[in-house]
A = this chain, B = another copy of it.
């Protein structure tokens, strides 16, 4: 459905460029809302899931990841990671540990409980992703990805 109709706008969006931008933004927003709902019964948020995925697949299990590293991979401000890890530490999903040899760092690591939650939710999440995306063929997805990559290329500072 056209975005205008979906949002109940009486006047149209005037340029295709603007319509494209609003479509990307709004679809991302809808996907985020759906993800939020999806993770709710598991007691975590979509953002917390993303952080746990990084700890699971982007870190040596021993070493964990620094908050600075998480900040770069999540593309959020470092101070956001501080409060996010605070909440997740309180929920016993992750721990902060001193790193020997560099006293500036924290190593953030999954707790056994964090790993358990991740194991429990991950398969269902991937199935849900497949269900949401099955409206597109593989080649349509690749074209979509290509267009979005080019847009981001043009956004780089």
* Chain A interface residues (CB < 8 Å from chain B): 1-3, 6-11, 15-21, 23-32, 34, 57-58, 72-73, 75, 126, 129-136, 138, 140-145, 147-155
Contact = CB atoms under 8 A, between A and B. Distances in A.
A39 B107 CA distance: 36
A11 B27 CA distance: 26
Given A20-B133, A135-B153, A58 B144 contact: no
Contacts of A24: 24, 27-28, 31, 144, 148
A20 B144 contact: yes
A21 B148 contact: no
20 contacts: A3-B149, A8-B72, A11-B58, A16-B138, A17-B129, A18-B129, A19-B145, A21-B31, A23-B145, A24-B24, A24-B144, A25-B28, A25-B31, A26-B75, A29-B75, A30-B152, A31-B155, A135-B154, A136-B147, A143-B143
Please tell me how many copies of the chain the complex holds.
2
A86 to B, nearest CB: 22
